[in-house]
Amino acid sequence: MNERLDSPTLTIDLAALSANWRLLAAKAGPAQCAAAVKADAYGIGLEPAVGALAKAGCTTFFVAHCSEGVKARTALRAAGHNGRIYILNGGPLSAPMAELYLRFGLQPVLNSVAELQFWRTITATTHNPPAAALHFNTGMNRLGFDKSDEINLDGVPFDLVMSHFVSAECPEDADNQSQIAAFTEIVTRFPGVTASLANSSGIFLPANPHFDMVRPGYALYGGNPLPGSSNPMQPVVQLDVPVLQIRTIEAGARVGYNGQWTAQRRTRLATLSLGYADGFPRIAGHVDTAPDHRAQALIAGVLCPFVGRTSMDLTVLDITAVDPAAIELGSRAQILGRHITIDDLAERSGTIGYQILTSLGARFTRHYTPAPVH
């Protein structure tokens, strides 16, 4: 494993990932449950995630870029599985890129008339080309065909019609119902074609807008699809980092760049091998927040607040509440796990859990617990 004393360790529970997919699949049934594995499977590693999800029964995957699609296809083949892989950020607009789509059987999500027209030229000279998906804008205003677009689908095979929720994590938001209504109207134009709207939080909306397929992402990896309510998902990631140094400072001493945090009492500190270069939020120990609202780490069974600005490779923890005999150099502090969720760390650091997950550092030593075989 080449694990070193100073190396943070990221443990990824593929069994929990599989269990989360099965829970969402059961919730959405009889609709098909796909999986969003873009951004390196939300930071946990695309290849092992795809392999585990395929073994759990997932047959449809969504990525953002063609390069991710190639990795996903390779991972599926290595696991002895096949499946559909859709490229969310659009169809190819060059011949070399189109060649990759064809070689690896990647299915473009067409978002514009220009993409549609180019894909038509590709499919016109290709035997049995991959079927495309059609993405319609129902309020997000990022990608997708608008209602006013003139769409000529002659000669273009497609097997999916989709859109994307704006505020599914807020069940009371009026945008949800307006988007469901708009997408329902769109779907009537394509009888017999698979329709997909719901993301992770969309699966749990009271209206059950599951249509034929749901596309969870964040919830698969342990994120809470029901903000403000109990999280039904199992945690997938655990991050443990080593203590590099322990020191005691007196009241009035300052910590970190620009001395942004000042000790109000005699304080014991632990310097951890973790920094913003590892994706840890720079303001996790921000000074304008009460200690019980700052980001925390679990060490020797005690939740301790971060203090001072996060450095590139280091951050500092106030361990005054911990028995000195319980900590030594090399002791591990847990940053993420069952006691500190990705949503909790994000909220206390002024960001969102998606950013915490997708920023998980490449320098971590990664351990994967195996997924069960079904």
Per-10-residue mean pLDDT for the chain, 374 residues long?
69 98 97 98 97 97 97 95 96 91 96 95 92 97 93 94 97 96 96 98 97 98 96 97 97 93 96 95 73 87 95 96 95 96 94 95 92 59
Tell me whether strands 158-162 and 237-249 are parallel, antiparallel or unpaired: unpaired
- Final residue in a domain of this structure, among 190, 221, 252: 221
Residue 6 resides in a domain: no
If asked whether residues 281 and 202 sit together in one domain, one would say no
Q: What is the pLDDT of residue 31?
A: 98
In the chain, the number of structural domains is 2
Residue 254 resides in a domain: yes
- Final residue in a domain of this structure, among 163, 194, 221: 221
Residue 190 resides in a domain: yes
If asked whether residues 255 and 180 sit together in one domain, one would say no
If asked whether residues 205 and 248 sit together in one domain, one would say no
Residue 329 resides in a domain: yes
Express the helix, strand and coil content of the chain in percent, nearest 5 each.
30, 20, 50
DSSP E strand stretches across 205-354: 213-214, 237-249, 254-255, 261-262, 267-272, 296-299, 302-307, 315-318, 332-336
- Final residue in a domain of this structure, among 169, 196, 221: 221
Q: Which pair of structure tokens corresponds to residue 202?
A: 């969309």
Q: What range defines the domain where residue 31 resides?
A: 14-221
Q: What is the pLDDT of residue 5?
A: 61
Residue 229 resides in a domain: no
Residue 79 resides in a domain: yes
Which helix H or strand E contains 74, and what residues bound it? helix 66-78
Q: Residue 328 sits in a domain of what CATH number?
A: 2.40.37.10
Residue 76 resides in a domain: yes
If asked whether residues 353 and 289 sit together in one domain, one would say yes
Q: What is the pLDDT of residue 291?
A: 62
CB 261, CB 255: distance < 8 Å: yes
Q: What is the pLDDT of residue 1?
A: 36
If asked whether residues 143 and 287 sit together in one domain, one would say no
If asked whether residues 261 and 180 sit together in one domain, one would say no
Confidence (pTM): 0.94
Which helix H or strand E contains 62, and what residues bound it? strand 60-63
10 Å CB burial of residue 282 (0-12, 13-18, 19+) is middle
If asked whether residues 244 and 342 sit together in one domain, one would say yes
10 Å CB burial of residue 299 (0-12, 13-18, 19+) is buried
If asked whether residues 143 and 69 sit together in one domain, one would say yes
Max Cα-Cα span within the chain: 76
If asked whether residues 243 and 111 sit together in one domain, one would say no
If asked whether residues 199 and 325 sit together in one domain, one would say no
Residue 231 resides in a domain: no
Residues serving a catalytic function are 38, 257
If asked whether residues 51 and 177 sit together in one domain, one would say yes
Q: What is the pLDDT of residue 292?
A: 67
